[in-house]
């Protein structure tokens, strides 16, 4: 059902792009709109990962520079049946993470220093599993496409103002029609983009919980990240708000409601959904089996060397 909803929303986004193009230049305008979108998407397909990683100052790490983090990613990638993605660390105090890349073989997982300083080992694994779920579901490509189409719609709407708002075959839109197109088309595109983002987050939470085997560790991580995101500013994300939808939790505002303009579902709703996953997996209120519960101290800190040898490497 979530895949069907995503397909419908993508179709709606493409249709909106064509409508804006048609209103500007008739059939030729609609065709030009598609060509522009195709060109932008082609560029994004090959370069989006490099651009966003560079934008957020992410530095690639390996077994020598971040052995525990890379070990977690490797173990969970194997469990998910994915190639080992590149691993990046962002020198940012806000706990957060995102995945990027055009396909699983060219994927990357990036986490902030704040994430590693805030979460325990199980919670970090839950976040990584969530990002691997995005990679497995090709969400990184889907969200790149929606973001670029939304950008193309905004660009074309602005062109509509300069071209007088309409084609002669249709007697034009007129001043009021032009103003409505310039302001409403980008808003409509943003609403669709955010709806797709929220849909994919729920799916990634579900699959990520199953990959890690610890749904409530992910739920705990979401609660901690959401709380910290309210008080710790992500300056890079604030300067580049178009990348906000990529993060596991909204790095900008931490909205609490699933409203039309929220890039992410409400954290409480995501935790409730993860509680259902935990129940399906036969886990208790802490989302752990009896055997797993004995492997970890409830508040074990990330990087606790005494915990070496656990299931995350």
Domain contains 31:
yes
pLDDT tens digits along 125-172 = 999 999 999 999 988 777 766 666 666 666 666 666 555 544 444 444
Give yes or no for a contact between 9 and 196, defined as CB atoms under 8 angstroms apart: yes
pTM: 0.73
Give yes or no for a contact between 288 and 298, defined as CB atoms under 8 angstroms apart: no
Tokens of 157: 């709407």
Using CA atoms, how far residue 139 sits from 9, 163, 196, 215, 307, in Å, is: 14, 35, 10, 20, 33
Tokens of 282: 């036969």
Contacts of 187 (CB under 8 A, 6+ apart): none
Give yes or no for a contact between 73 and 87, defined as CB atoms under 8 angstroms apart: yes
Query: Which among 120, 127, 119, 128 has a CA at the least distance from the CA of 77?
Result: 128
Residue range(s) defining the domain that contains residue 294 = 2-307
Using CA atoms, how far residue 133 sits from 2, 20, 112, 136, in Å, is: 14, 34, 18, 5
pLDDT tens digits along 182-192 = 666 667 666 66
pLDDT tens digits along 229-258 = 889 989 888 887 777 888 999 898 644 445
131 is catalytic: yes
Predicted local distance difference test score (pLDDT) of residue 105: 93
Contacts of 105 (CB under 8 A, 6+ apart): 83
Give yes or no for a contact between 288 and 310, defined as CB atoms under 8 angstroms apart: no
Domain contains 185:
yes
Domain contains 223:
yes
Catalytic residue among 68, 122, 123, 131: 131
Contacts of 115 (CB under 8 A, 6+ apart): 95, 96, 97, 124, 127, 225
Please count the structural domains in the chain.
1
Predicted local distance difference test score (pLDDT) of residue 142: 73
Signed CA dihedral, 230, 232, 234, 238: sign only: positive
Predicted local distance difference test score (pLDDT) of residue 152: 65
Which residue positions in the chain have pLDDT lower than 70?
Answer: 1-18, 23-25, 29-30, 33-34, 37-38, 40-45, 48, 144-186, 188-196, 253-262, 284-313
Predicted local distance difference test score (pLDDT) of residue 249: 92
Tokens of 6: 């995503």
Domain contains 313:
no
Longest Cα separation, the chain: 75
Spatial distance between the Cα atoms of 223 and 29, rounded to a whole number of angstroms? 46
How many CA atoms, within 13 angstroms, populate the side-chain half-sphere of residue 104?
14
Give yes or no for a contact between 121 and 299, defined as CB atoms under 8 angstroms apart: no
Domain contains 312:
no
């Amino acid at each position: 059902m979530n895949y069907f909803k995503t397909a419908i929303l993508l179709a709606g986004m493409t249709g909106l792009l064509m409508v804006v193009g048609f209103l500007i230049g008739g059939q030729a305008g609609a065709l030009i709109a598609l060509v522009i979108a195709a060109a932008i998407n082609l560029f994004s397909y090959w370069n989006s990962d490099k651009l966003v990683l560079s934008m957020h100052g992410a530095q690639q790490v390996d077994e020598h520079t971040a052995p525990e983090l890379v070990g977690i990613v490797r173990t969970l990638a194997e469990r998910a049946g994915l190639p080992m993605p590149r691993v990046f660390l962002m020198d940012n105090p806000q706990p957060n993470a995102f995945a990027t890349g055009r396909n699983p073989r060219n994927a990357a997982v990036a986490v902030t220093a704040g994430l590693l300083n805030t979460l325990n080992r199980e919670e970090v694994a839950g976040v990584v599993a969530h990002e691997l779920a995005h990679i497995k579901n090709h969400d990184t490509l889907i969200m790149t496409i929606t973001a670029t189409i939304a950008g193309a719609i905004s660009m074309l709407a602005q062109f509509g103002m300069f071209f007088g708002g309409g084609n002669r075959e249709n007697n034009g839109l007129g001043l009021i029609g032009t103003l409505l197109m310039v302001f409403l088309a980008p808003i409509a595109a943003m609403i669709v983009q955010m709806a797709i983002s929220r849909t994919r987050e729920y799916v990634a939470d579900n699959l990520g919980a199953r990959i890690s085997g610890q749904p409530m560790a992910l739920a705990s991580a979401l609660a901690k990240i959401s709380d910290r995101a309210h008080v710790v500013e992500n300056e890079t994300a604030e300067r580049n708000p178009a990348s906000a939808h990529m993060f596991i939790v909204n790095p900008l505002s931490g909205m609490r409601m699933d409203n039309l303009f929220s890039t992410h579902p409400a954290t409480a709703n995501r935790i409730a959904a993860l509680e259902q996953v935990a129940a399906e997996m036969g886990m208790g209120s802490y989302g752990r089996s009896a055997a797993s519960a004995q492997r970890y101290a409830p508040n074990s800190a990330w990087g606790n060397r005494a915990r070496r040898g656990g299931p995350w490497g």
